[in-house]
Amino acid sequence: GKGTFDHFMLKEIHSQPASLGKTTRGRIADDKRGVRLEELDTGVLDGVADVHFVACGTSYHAALIGARMLSDVGVRTRVFRASEYAKTAGPVSETTLVVPVTQSGETADTLSALRTANERGAATMTVTNVVGSTAAREADESLFIRAGPEIGVAATKTFTSQVVTLTLLAQQLAADLPGATPRDDLPELLTALERIPEHVEQVVTSSRASDLATRLLEYDAYFFIGRGMSQSVALEGALKFKEITYEHAEGFAAGQLKHGPLALVTPETPVVGVFTGEEAGQTVTNAMEARTRGAEIIGVGPAGGPGEAASDIYLTVPDTHPVCQNLLANVQLQLFAYHTAKELDRSIDKPRNLAKSVTVQ
């Protein structure tokens, strides 16, 4: 049941310290110099030269972060919306590892992309939450995110577990693929990942997102911006927000704002800036372009970070490794979406027109 929580979504947001603890358990070496994904038969990686991610919705946003983690270690990677894979992938061979990222393991578009990959002779490895799902049965290998069952239609704890699993997978590939190079900051990254449950706990217990929600009703639209990995967090923040509030929300690469979307910015369109990581300063520059047009700036980032002074309202995250800062920023945006939807009295756990698992193409 929901226990003391009003909705499964809020319960699931609050359960992330536990779910993320399960995701990493036993997978990080004691000396923080490597990972072990013990259930994975690494034979599937033999001869792999590049990686294609295929996914939909929230899982697509997790895949974008996974791709960034792989490109950081020198692995050629592309990310496809699963529904576009068959038409746009071009030649795929046994040197391509195709990774369907799917919480349910039952999404029709993602299964179709997986079948395309299998038919074209690629190696396949699904990253999923559900043992025994169709994706797990049809892929050559499976890597489980171990988030536990998710009841709310809006994916929350499964997104963060996907991101952490893909981050670990990237470090495994960095060690196993010829030509890939382990990250210089691997010990710092793995140390930060082990502390993520504690940091998520800090965010969920101290978040000011509910005060923010009551102030921000009745606007025309909500824009979410970020750069690099924080762009993926912005896209996911906007998706979660539109799904459960039914308000118009869009995510953009911060640098693209001035190439079109800025025409929509007015005092009635708050801009949510994900001010995490090295690119935060540049995202601030873009947020100022919106502020000049009267938009309220809602920032998310570490205390004292470059976004703080640029924001009308600032939601803080612990000052940890940039990858983990992005995960924590996502948790703040989960809470922002949740509390806004609650103020608007929406059907949070079962938003209109949406299903937990989309089994039609």
* Six-digit token string for 63: 């895949």
Of 104 and 116, CB closest to ligand F6R:
104
Of 9 and 254, CB closest to ligand F6R:
9
How far is residue 292 CA from its own chain's centroid?
Answer: 30
How far apart (Å, rounded) are the C-alpha atoms in residues 271 and 22? 34
* Six-digit token string for 131: 């043992």
Minimum distance of ligand F6R from residue 59's CB (angstroms): 4
Minimum distance of ligand F6R from residue 54's CB (angstroms): 10
Of 90 and 360, CB closest to ligand F6R:
360
In one letter, which amino acid is 301?
Answer: G
In terms of Cβ atoms closer than 10 Å to its own Cβ (0-12, 13-18, 19+), residue 294 is exposed
Instruction: Please count the CA atoms within 13 angstroms of the CA of 175 that sit on its side-chain side.
Output: 12
Of 134 and 171, CB closest to ligand F6R:
134
Return phi, psi of residue 146, to 5°: 55, 35
Residue 32, sorted as left (phi over 0), alpha (psi -120 to 50) or beta, turns out to be: left
In one letter, which amino acid is 358?
Answer: V
Of 107 and 231, CB closest to ligand F6R:
107
Minimum distance of ligand F6R from residue 22's CB (angstroms): 18
The answer to whether 117 and 101 have CB atoms below 8 angstroms apart is no
In one letter, which amino acid is 185?
Answer: D
Instruction: Please count the CA atoms within 13 angstroms of the CA of 114 that sit on its side-chain side.
Output: 28
Minimum distance of ligand F6R from residue 207's CB (angstroms): 19
Strand order in the sheet with 141-144: 76-81, 50-55, 96-102, 123-128, 141-144
Of 49 and 358, CB closest to ligand F6R:
358
Minimum distance of ligand F6R from residue 154's CB (angstroms): 4
Residue nearest ligand F6R (C-beta atom): 57
Minimum distance of ligand F6R from residue 244's CB (angstroms): 8
- What residue ranges bind ligand F6R (CB under 6 A)? 56-59, 102-104, 107, 110, 154-155, 239, 243, 357-358
Residue 146, sorted as left (phi over 0), alpha (psi -120 to 50) or beta, turns out to be: left
Minimum distance of ligand F6R from residue 32's CB (angstroms): 30
Nearest to 49 by CA among 10, 109, 3, 95: 95
Of 45 and 238, CB closest to ligand F6R:
238
